[in-house]
């Protein structure tokens, strides 16, 4: 079966086409800057040169049609017809308490995702646009929703409830949900394989560090706590998001700066984190380059970022009453050796010992970057949310 996996952001469509017989990626790509005349399509057929083109792509329907056109293109495609796509797996960021598992999408599921839009106003609306576009262009295919939040539905009440009047949870479901669950679950399984130990025996702290970043405490293979909250804003310092702050800052800044709620929400989600502190960039590559070229603000941003991550790991070590392995994954976690080094360089209390040479010159694939003497393993594991989504889609469409 050929499965198309799509992950729709507010102005982007990430896609990956699988031949599931061999779990082989046939093609993948990214449409970005949707909504502008200068949208960019990056497309790559496995084993072939990358293809990049700019076009006017005004909405996600046009974006998905562009993807399907290139996938069926004589020169650039890998499909004779869109009818070859048996199923579509959709990443949906927020499933609320409605979904602890992936589901085949029907009208009821769409309504439930819509209901959770106010819990994930930056993520669920584009996810819904992608579902609408795909169902419109691939009406013959089955469509499956795989939720970031599902893996965290095992959190105990003392982890997910906020210390607010209980009525807010009862009436409005105000609680911690957590995100990146598909990724945290995937790397936990990969870690058990790498360590040669049953997942059920392990205490793991998974650090999914990308533009969005979250840590999760995993015990017996289950999420028991995670740093993102009701929305993907809470927790770590991120590329553009502030993460944990004193909630009293919001009304204070609104009054002092005469900002609306929308403006202060946008400030915290899009203009804070690395870019807010450094004034340089949300991209860790530019931050590390700037920091080592003497940009004091970039260096400060890097110090804050890794300090916050170290604190979170310490908190989850306490929550787990120990830890067997710390996992780094996602764009920053997999690629920024300095972030890994600065994060674990003050963990002697835990007996963590980093193999600096290996960390600085990392081979591909899942790796142990701690020394054999280290009392806690430190791992780098490439995540693969898209493969997990494809597997979930196959499981549901086949069953």
Ligand X SMILES: Nc1ncnc2c1ncn2[C@@H]1O[C@H](COP(=O)(O)OP(=O)(O)O)[C@@H](O)[C@H]1O
Ligand Y SMILES: CC(=O)OP(=O)(O)O
Binding residues for Mg(2+), as ranges, are 7, 385
95 binds ligand Y (CB under 6 A): no
CA distance 19 to 22: 6
- 325-329/85-92 β-pairing: unpaired
Shortest Å, Cβ 174 to ligand X = 25
48 binds ligand X (CB under 6 A): no
Cβ distance to ligand Y smaller for residue 86 or 273: 273
143 phi and psi angles, rounded to 5 deg: -120, 130
Q: Which of residues 285-344 bind ligand Y (CB under 6 A)?
A: none
Helix (H, G, I), strand (E, B) or coil at 219: strand
Shortest Å, Cβ 1 to ligand Y = 26
| Active-site pick, 73, 118, 148, 324 | 148
Q: Which of 34, 71, 93, 218 binds ligand Y (CB under 6 A)?
A: 93
* Tokens standing for residue 228: 């993102």
Shortest Å, Cβ 193 to ligand Y = 24
Shortest Å, Cβ 237 to ligand Y = 13
181 binds ligand X (CB under 6 A): no
Q: What torsion, rounded to 10 degrees, do the Cα atoms 30, 208, 344, 309 define?
A: 110
Cβ distance to ligand X smaller for residue 182 or 317: 182
Q: Which of 96, 212, 235, 290 binds ligand X (CB under 6 A)?
A: 212
For 120-230, strand residue ranges (E) read 142-147, 203-209, 213-219, 222-226
Place of tokens 């970043």: 213
Q: Which of 179, 305, 316, 342 binds ligand Y (CB under 6 A)?
A: 179
CA distance 322 to 96: 30
Q: Which of 126, 210, 243, 273 binds Mg ion (CB under 5 A)?
A: 210
CA distance 29 to 66: 11
Q: Which of 63, 178, 235, 331 binds ligand X (CB under 6 A)?
A: 331
As annotated, the binding site for substrate includes 91
232 binds ligand X (CB under 6 A): no
- 142-147/103-104 β-pairing: antiparallel
CA distance 330 to 236: 14
Annotation marks residue 148 as catalytic: yes
What's the helix, strand, coil split of the chain in %, to 5?
Answer: 45, 25, 35
235 binds Mg ion (CB under 5 A): no
Residues that bind ligand Y (CB under 6 A): 93, 148, 179-180, 210-212, 232
Residues that bind ligand X (CB under 6 A): 210-212, 239, 283-285, 330-332, 335-336
Residues that bind Mg ion (CB under 5 A): 210
């Amino acid at each position: 079966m050929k499965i198309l996996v799509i992950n729709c952001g507010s102005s982007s469509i990430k896609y990956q086409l699988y031949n599931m017989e061999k779990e082989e990626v046939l093609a993948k790509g990214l449409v970005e800057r949707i909504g502008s005349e200068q949208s960019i399509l990056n497309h790559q057929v496995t084993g072939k040169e990358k293809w990049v083109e700019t076009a006017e792509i005004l909405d996600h329907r046009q974006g998905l049609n562009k993807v399907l056109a290139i996938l069926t293109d004589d020169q650039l495609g890998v499909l004779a017809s869109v009818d070859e796509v048996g199923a579509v797996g959709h990443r949906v960021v927020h499933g609320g308490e409605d979904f602890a598992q992936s589901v085949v999408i029907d009208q009821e599921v769409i309504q439930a995702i819509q209901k959770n839009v106010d819990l994930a106003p930056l993520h669920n609306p584009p996810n819904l646009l992608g579902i609408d576009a795909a169902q419109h262009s691939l009406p013959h295919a089955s469509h499956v929703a795989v939720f970031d939040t599902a893996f965290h539905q095992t959190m105990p009440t003392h982890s997910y409830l906020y210390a607010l009047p209980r009525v807010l949870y009862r009436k409005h479901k105000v609680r911690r949900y957590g995100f990146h669950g598909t990724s945290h679950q995937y790397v936990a399984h990969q870690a058990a394989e790498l360590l040669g130990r049953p997942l059920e025996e392990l205490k793991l702290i998974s650090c999914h560090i990308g533009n969005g970043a979250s840590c999760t405490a995993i015990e017996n293979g289950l999420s028991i706590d995670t740093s993102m909250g009701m929305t993907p804003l809470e927790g770590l310092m991120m590329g553009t998001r502030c993460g944990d702050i004193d909630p009293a800052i919001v009304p204070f800044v609104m009054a002092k700066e005469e900002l609306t709620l929308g403006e202060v929400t946008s400030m915290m989600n899009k203009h804070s984190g690395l870019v807010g502190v450094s004034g340089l960039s949300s991209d860790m590559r530019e931050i590390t380059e700037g920091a080592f070229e003497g940009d004091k603000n970039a260096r400060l941003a890097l110090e804050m970022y890794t300090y916050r991550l170290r604190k979170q790991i310490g908190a989850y070590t306490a929550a787990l009453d120990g830890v067997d392995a710390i996992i780094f994954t996602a764009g920053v976690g997999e690629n920024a050796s300095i972030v890994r080094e600065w994060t674990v360089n003050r963990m002697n209390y835990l007996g963590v010992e980093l193999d600096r040479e290996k960390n600085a010159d990392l081979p591909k694939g899942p790796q142990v970057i701690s020394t054999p003497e280290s009392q806690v393993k430190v791992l780098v594991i490439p995540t693969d949310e898209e493969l997990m989504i494809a597997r979930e889609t196959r499981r549901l469409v086949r069953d």
